[in-house]
Structure 1
């Protein structure tokens, strides 16, 4: 799951650098949401005790 989110974040970053300002705001919002999801997943994985 994290690989998919990391790929999505990279794709959004590339899009944000090559679009008009109106689209950039929307892409930046999506990027922030994806980063928050990734951080939550990583935090949950770190909180799990090793098996």
Structure 2
């Protein structure tokens, strides 16, 4: 699972390096979300958070 998100992060980083100013904000937002998603995945794998809903 993390390999896929890592690939997405790499692609977004490459896009960001080559983006024109009009696209930059959108790509930065997508990259920020992907980084947060990866952090959640890592936290679930490490047992720092529980992936099950509380109900």
| TM-score, scaled to structure 1 | 0.89
Q: State the partner residue of 2:12.
A: 12
Greater than 3 Å deviation, 4+ residue runs = none
- Give per-residue Cα distances to partners, 1:24-51, cap 9 Å, x unaligned: 1100000000000000000010007xxx
SS of 1:37 mapped into structure 2:
helix
Quote the RMSD (CA, aligned, Å). 1.1
Alignment of 1:1-51 (within 5 A): 1-47=1-47
Q: Which has the higher helix share?
A: 1
In structure 1, the gaps of 5 or more residues are: none
Q: CA deviation at 1:19?
A: 1.2
Choose between structure 1 and 2 for higher RCO, CA contacts under 8 A separated by at least 6 residues. 1
